[in-house]
Amino acid sequence: MPDDREQRYDPATIEPKWQARWAADPSLYAVEPPSCGKPKYYVLEMLPYPSGQLHMGHVRNYSIGDALARHMWMRGYNVMHPMGWDAFGLPAENAALKNHVPPREWTLSNIAGMKRQFNRLGMAFDWATEVTTCLPDYYRWNQWFFLRMYERGLAYRKKSKVNWCPECATVLANEQVIDGRCWRHEDTIVEQRDLVQWFLRITAYAQELLEGLDKLDGWPEKVRTMQRNWIGRSEGTEVDFFLAEGHDKTEKRIRVFTTRVDTIFGATSVQLAPQHALVADFTAVNPALKAQVDELLDQQKKAREAGDLGAIEKHGVPTGHFAINPYNGARVPIWIANYILADYGTGAIMSVPAHDERDFEFAVKYGLPIQQVITPEDKSMSVVLPFFSEDGLLCNSGEYDGLSCTQAQKALQEVAARGAFGEAKVTYRLKDWGVSRQRYWGTPIPMLYCETDGLVPVPDDQLPVLLPEQIEITQQGGSPLARDAAFVNAICPKCGGPAKRETDTMDTFVDSSWYFYRYTDAKNSTAPFDSAVANYWFPIDQYIGGVEHAILHLIYSRFWTKVMRDLGLIANDEPVRRLFTQGMVIKDGAKMSKSKGNVVSPDDMIARYGADAARAYSLFAAPPDRDLDWQEDGVAGVSRFLARVWRLTTKYAPVARTGRGIPIEGPTGAALKLLRKLHQTIAKITLDFEARWHFNTDVAAIMEFVNELQAADAQLASGEIPAPVVSALLRNLVLLLAPFAPHLVAELWEELGETGSILRAPWPQSDPELAREDELEIPVQINGKLVTVVGVSVDADAKTIEAAALADEKIQARIAGKTVVKIIVVPRKLVNLVVK
């Protein structure tokens, strides 16, 4: 008599039961010491911002990593799968403004809530190594790193134009400005302000960051391309034009950067950015020019704010001054143009209209001369200006005529170096990382300003510089910390006199730049982490997160790793061996997000269908690298499938238990057929974990296998399928589902008479002999129309297949009395008869 248990799959009972058991066993998800002798595997999903609620986008991200971690445990690896909180940042301050809850309280209570959600989803995280970046035991090491960088000249202060988000009321890094808008406020135009700021010298590693990308072959190509473009290396030459006053050149120089010094004889003007230092000299004595320059500045500002600097309508004004080409003494007019950027290259260019599209457009507009200096090697080719090829020869270039472009570049660079008016130069688009934020909820920058000693770093033994807890937060008037006298006023460690603290805090991307090292040794109170432990775990074997971090977190953390290596803390050059960027979760045509109001809460899904169904659905509904279109029907469908697994397994568990551990001998018939399907499914899923990550088709393959089991219900019920085979079928079904539906499998594992955690059970191995199909079904067509299928051996050759097709009764009936003109055989696939 079937009891209730066999009939009803009840995740609401099973799931909390197992969560409680797992929570009671801290060793379950804990790492083992390196001496365990197992190979290590570090799998990591990007840590969440504790906004208060997980949504299904999170569930998808973490379900991918969790499935992989579980699989690797079963493969016998020493797995590290930690979790933490990217807990500093503006939303906590905004919430404080709105609800009058202190940011710390708000953040910690959100963390508690999200941790509950993670546990309710059954995620296999080792909470013993939890990292919370807003707590002093973590951020003191941000300060420590900052001081080490300061000592090495990698952290410095300068006044510069910075990106200012009026909505955030703080400075943003270049990486946080997307199309001229704030990365957090897509409707807010970023302004430019002059401020004294702290910078980290990421440009010191520009070349290494670029070259390292070639070795990151476990990263998506699109991410590598984005980083290459962001670093933006260009090789060229810096050359000084001399300022001409009257007929003589002065010693004043205008340094220009060009990638095409071979075209310098074609330069017909020099163009300055409106902010160029020389422009101020010119306008100081020329109010009319000043007014024109102000207009150019205004146009540039508007274009920058519109995020479309590249498409700016080009305007320029002549200064009335001239510059002298150092190679041929030619006098060319100096212009000021709105499309020349002060922060790119030297803020000045030579304009060569014959060989540059932008220069050509400008010259035509303002009637500047156009002088061709490169000609195609093939003399018969007609030339239309502008002509940009680098496969040409120089002409109209004096002694350099006839040289190839590359030869000329080299020769001209040498001449410039000898004459001390220029040099070969590599420039990068990458700028130093501005890390000062005029906000409260971040790591205090550990610096003091003393009246006597100037800038003084906080000594290591005074770390952490604690973030005061009671503080009034407003969005006006600079850093909130500046209004806290108890924080600001300090004692100078050098002279004992009064000093004032730096009141800017660090960009939150500092926190995430090295958090994954802290996981390896999260409780260390004397160092950020133990080097030996980090060296065992790094690099991360698999990192999983959103592509939106390609030029933010993923470039900052590479930089931080290189700095830590140079500090002697770690041995690896790169933090992450393999990177996976998952697709978004879409609902009603838009990315699932709080601001769009289309968030599906995992709590609701768990209440209705269970955590296993929600997790398995998020893997099943789309390939992990593609966007997933959220359909609640789909979750219901997966839930029904899990219920089928439940019924089937509990029904035959008693038989399986009697066959447990008994070797299978010479299976035949239905038993053989089911075992074949099983081993094919094992092979497919194993391969997917190793390479393809098509988890959506894995869940589908398990569904197919379950369909076959159900179709064999009569043979299972009658005992035709021997107990050892039943045991193998059900045991492996449960093992295969283990990465995807952890609660269900834990319960069924026990049901099958197994003891111990399924996470420590070896992953099933596919037997290639059993997996091999011995017969294939080949469709046979007549004149392109399917008539029948014939069974042939898998390794049948074309002749055998043809014979089998012609011997088929249906085919014989159709071709009787007709002429077979042609027989096309595609081995293993198809036979087509052309009949008249």
Rounded to the nearest whole angstrom, what is the least distance from the CB of residue 490 to Zn ion in the complex?
A: 10
- Strand ranges, E, within 472-597: 489-491, 498-501, 505-506, 542-545, 579-581, 585-587, 590-591
Nearer to Zn ion, 60 or 181 (CB): 181
Q: How far apart are CA 261 and CA 215, in angstroms?
A: 32
C-alpha atoms less than 13 angstroms from C-alpha of 715 in its C-beta half-sphere: 17
Q: What one-character DSSP code corresponds to residue 63?
A: H
Q: 318 pairs with which residues across the strands? A: 335
Q: How far apart are CA 832 and CA 220, in angstroms?
A: 42
Q: How far apart are CA 310 and CA 315, in angstroms?
A: 13
Rounded to the nearest whole angstrom, what is the least distance from the CB of residue 183 to Zn ion in the complex?
A: 7
Rounded to the nearest whole angstrom, what is the least distance from the CB of residue 306 to Zn ion in the complex?
A: 17
Nearer to Zn ion, 120 or 549 (CB): 549
Rounded to the nearest whole angstrom, what is the least distance from the CB of residue 89 to Zn ion in the complex?
A: 11
Q: Is the peptide bond before 457 cis (omega within 30 degrees of 0)?
A: no
Rounded to the nearest whole angstrom, what is the least distance from the CB of residue 498 to Zn ion in the complex?
A: 8
Residue 17 tokens read as 């039961």
Residue 758's contacts (CB-CB under 8 Å, 6 or more residues apart) are 74, 734, 735, 738, 745, 746, 749
Nearer to Zn ion, 492 or 622 (CB): 492
Residue 612 contacts residue 645 (beta carbons within 8 Å) = no
3-state secondary structure of 208: helix
Rounded to the nearest whole angstrom, what is the least distance from the CB of residue 454 to Zn ion in the complex?
A: 8
- Per DSSP, the chain holds a count of helices (H) and strands (E) of 27, 34
Nearer to Zn ion, 94 or 413 (CB): 94
3-state secondary structure of 201: coil
Nearer to Zn ion, 94 or 696 (CB): 94
Nearer to Zn ion, 129 or 176 (CB): 176
Nearer to Zn ion, 128 or 495 (CB): 495
Nearer to Zn ion, 168 or 544 (CB): 168
Rounded to the nearest whole angstrom, what is the least distance from the CB of residue 447 to Zn ion in the complex?
A: 13
Rounded to the nearest whole angstrom, what is the least distance from the CB of residue 165 to Zn ion in the complex?
A: 3
Nearer to Zn ion, 74 or 492 (CB): 492
Nearer to Zn ion, 63 or 176 (CB): 176
Q: How far apart are CA 726 and CA 566, in angstroms?
A: 58
Q: Which of 204, 195, 146 is nearest to 172 (CA)?
A: 195
Residue 723 contacts residue 662 (beta carbons within 8 Å) = yes
Rounded to the nearest whole angstrom, what is the least distance from the CB of residue 491 to Zn ion in the complex?
A: 9
Rounded to the nearest whole angstrom, what is the least distance from the CB of residue 168 to Zn ion in the complex?
A: 3
Rounded to the nearest whole angstrom, what is the least distance from the CB of residue 181 to Zn ion in the complex?
A: 8
Q: 84-85 and 78-80 as β-strands: parallel, antiparallel, unpaired? A: unpaired
Q: 498-501 and 489-491 as β-strands: parallel, antiparallel, unpaired? A: antiparallel
Residue with tokens 């193998």: 728
Rounded to the nearest whole angstrom, what is the least distance from the CB of residue 451 to Zn ion in the complex?
A: 7
CA distance from start to end of the chain? 63
Nearer to Zn ion, 259 or 475 (CB): 475
How many residues would you count in the chain? Answer: 836
Helices 669-687 and 695-711: crossing angle in degrees, nearest 10, is: 170
Q: 585 pairs with which residues across the strands? A: 628
Residue 592 tokens read as 């699932």
Helix or strand (DSSP H, E) at 193: strand 191-200
Q: How far apart are CA 480 and CA 503, in angstroms?
A: 8
Sheet strands side by side (includes 155-165): 170-172, 155-165, 191-200, 433-434
Interface positions with Zn ion (CB under 5 A): 165, 167-168, 182, 184-185, 450, 452-453, 492, 494-495, 497
Nearer to Zn ion, 185 or 660 (CB): 185
Rounded to the nearest whole angstrom, what is the least distance from the CB of residue 648 to Zn ion in the complex?
A: 54
3-state secondary structure of 654: helix
Nearer to Zn ion, 457 or 624 (CB): 457
Q: How far apart are CA 666 and CA 450, in angstroms?
A: 86
